[in-house]
């Protein structure tokens, strides 16, 4: 088998790429996805739109009939209840959603902070840990929860079921449910789902990222226009795949991803829990990833563009204006709290704000303050991490926002670390998982 179809489902778009055994990207198609924000704190996506986007992207790939396997990289968390036939019963509740603060508080009171951290590895952050969204549906759409055939998975579960007919979730996705033993790299844990009265029969089967989920269904192969009877590799969430693609696999390795979400990632040989960072399993058993996260990193930048730079075309803003501001930036006088979609490290709802603005403050000063707030919130965590782990002095900078001007801006915030601009690594990481998995089983 020479070629893999890697699928990366993000917040803004779905990308489908065909890669060869040397991880060269031979062809790529991208289809936009729609995030629907309402009431200020609801953020959803249509599950059927994700599948339709995959069909559209695959149909545009000229080399699709030559692939030998499919692998997924998916946004997370992305809670989605499915019926017994795999049809969505509610829109996907995204990581940007904050409607479930009441449920998060109840879960934290019921289980306790220490138990959550020592088993799940994370606190029940509203929307950021999908248990809270599941509880919100249980309280506000009980007819969904009461269904005997319901399965509460993530977007990955929908796609794996469409491809193979199985309700599955990988550990990196399960790590952000609040019901999985992330610290033990294990399975759904009764110490979590029991006190919360969550029926484990309503959860998908956890299957390792580097395993075969199944053989593609004939109908799915026909929809996508790809060969029949090829294997589907389970895959992982998008940040985990980015780490695989950037070779962030050893303890102390660091990665900084810039996209809709901005994340500083530390690879670990042993789980390290803290309310200051999120914890998930790596794609490889016996490895973990600590994550300091700004939920609306690139999302904050897009918010700024839409509200303060309406006369500037989107392409011009990102390709020209942003670079000019960073290269000739004004002194940093203002500051920004980067919580437009809340703080992914606390249960209480946090909001964003600018401070130290005056009558002569310019939008360029505000833009620099916004970027400084995003970067500082992540990189300040390095001082804590280095007290526990010997850190690599190189940080891989990846993602669609990892431009040369933004990399240079971030580098100025770092002492003792070199930021290495790598570019997009998610598709390559997913493909590497697939090639390694297939080599192992063959």
Report the CATH number at residue 274: 3.30.420.40
Q: E strand or H helix at 245, and its extent?
A: helix 238-245
Do residues 427 and 400 touch, judged by C-beta distance below 8 A? no
For the chain, the domain total comes to: 2
Please write the tens of the pLDDT for every residue from 283-330: 999 999 999 999 899 999 999 999 999 999 999 999 999 999 999 999
CA-nearest of 381, 307, 377, 395 to 339 is: 377
Q: Is residue 440 over pLDDT 90?
A: no
- Domain containing 400: what range? 247-424
Lowest mean pLDDT among 106-110, 134-138, 161-165, 412-416: 412-416
Please write the tens of the pLDDT for every residue from 321-363: 999 999 999 999 999 999 999 999 999 989 999 999 999 999 9
User: In terms of domains, do 56 and 101 share one?
Assistant: yes
User: In terms of domains, do 263 and 200 share one?
Assistant: no
CB-based contacts of 415: which residues, under 8 Å, 6+ apart? none
Q: At 242, is the secondary structure helix, strand, or coil?
A: helix
User: In terms of domains, do 210 and 271 share one?
Assistant: no
Give the pLDDT confidence score for residue 135 in this predicted structure: 98
Contacts for 350-356 with beta carbons within 8 Å, 24 or more apart? 352/300
Give the pLDDT confidence score for residue 376 in this predicted structure: 96
- For the chain, how many residues are written? 442
User: In terms of domains, do 36 and 181 share one?
Assistant: yes
* Spatial strand order in the sheet of 212-215: 25-32, 13-20, 3-9, 70-74, 231-237, 212-215
User: In terms of domains, do 280 and 228 share one?
Assistant: no
Please write the tens of the pLDDT for every residue from 241-274: 999 999 999 999 999 999 989 999 999 999 999 9
User: In terms of domains, do 300 and 382 share one?
Assistant: yes
User: In terms of domains, do 46 and 136 share one?
Assistant: yes
Do residues 281 and 288 touch, judged by C-beta distance below 8 A? yes
Give the pLDDT confidence score for residue 1 in this predicted structure: 60
Q: Per-residue confidence at 364, pLDDT binned at 50, 70, 90?
A: very high
Please write the tens of the pLDDT for every residue from 67-110: 999 999 999 999 999 999 999 999 999 999 999 999 999 999 99
User: In terms of domains, do 258 and 234 share one?
Assistant: no
User: In terms of domains, do 280 and 387 share one?
Assistant: yes
Do residues 11 and 1 touch, judged by C-beta distance below 8 A? no
User: In terms of domains, do 381 and 272 share one?
Assistant: yes
Q: How far apart are CA 40 and CA 35, in angstroms?
A: 13
User: In terms of domains, do 129 and 253 share one?
Assistant: no
User: In terms of domains, do 308 and 212 share one?
Assistant: no
How many other CB atoms sit within 10 Å of the CB of residue 191? 14
CA-to-CA dists, residue 216 to 207, 296, 358, angstroms = 16, 35, 60
How many other CB atoms sit within 10 Å of the CB of residue 424? 21
């Amino acid at each position: 088998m020479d070629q893999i179809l890697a699928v990366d489902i993000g917040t803004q778009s779905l990308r489908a790429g065909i890669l060869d055994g040397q991880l060269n990207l031979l062809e790529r198609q991208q289809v936009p996805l729609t995030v629907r924000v309402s009431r200020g704190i609801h953020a959803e996506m249509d599950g059927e739109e994700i599948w339709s986007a995959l069909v559209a992207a695959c149909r545009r790939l000229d080399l699709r009939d030559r692939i030998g396997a499919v692998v997924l990289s998916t946004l997370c968390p992305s809670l989605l209840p499915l019926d017994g036939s795999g049809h969505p019963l509610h829109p996907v509740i995204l990581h940007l959603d904050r409607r479930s603060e009441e449920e998060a508080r109840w879960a934290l009171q019921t289980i306790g902070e220490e138990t959550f951290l020592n088993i799940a590895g994370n606190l029940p952050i509203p929307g950021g840990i999908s248990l809270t969204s599941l509880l919100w549906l249980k309280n506000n759409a009980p007819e969904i929860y009461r269904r005997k055939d319901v399965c509460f998975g993530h977007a990955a579960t929908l796609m794996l079921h469409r491809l193979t007919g199985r309700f599955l979730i990988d550990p990196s996705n399960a790590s952000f449910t609040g019901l999985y033993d992330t610290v033990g790299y294990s399975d759904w844990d009764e110490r979590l789902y029991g006190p919360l009265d969550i029926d484990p029969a309503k959860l998908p089967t956890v299957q390792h990222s580097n395993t075969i989920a199944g053989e593609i269904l004939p109908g799915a192969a026909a929809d996508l226009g790809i060969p029949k009877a090829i294997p589907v590799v389970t895959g992982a969430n998008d940040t985990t795949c980015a780490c695989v693609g950037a070779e962030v696999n050893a303890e102390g390795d660091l990665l900084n991803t810039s996209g809709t979400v901005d994340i500083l990632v530390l690879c670990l040989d042993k789980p390290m829990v803290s309310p200051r960072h999120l914890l998930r399993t790596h794609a490889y058993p016996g490895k973990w990833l600590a994550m300091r996260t700004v939920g609306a990193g690139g999302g904050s930048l897009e918010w700024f563009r839409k509200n303060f730079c309406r006369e500037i075309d989107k392409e011009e803003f990102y390709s020209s204006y942003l670079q000019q501001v960073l290269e000739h930036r004004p002194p940093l006088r203002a500051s920004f709290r980067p919580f437009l979609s809340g703080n992914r490290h606390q249960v209480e709802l946090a909001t964003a704000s600018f401070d130290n603005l005056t009558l002569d403050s310019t939008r360029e000063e505000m833009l620099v303050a916004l970027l400084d707030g995003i970067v500082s919130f992540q990189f300040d965590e390095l001082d804590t991490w280095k007290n526990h782990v010997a850190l690599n002095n190189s940080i891989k900078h990846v993602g669609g926002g990892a431009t040369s001007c933004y990399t240079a801006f971030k580098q100025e915030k770092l002492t003792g670390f070199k930021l290495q601009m790598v570019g997009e690594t998610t598709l390559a990481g997913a493909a590497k998982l697939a090639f390694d998995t297939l080599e192992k089983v063959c």
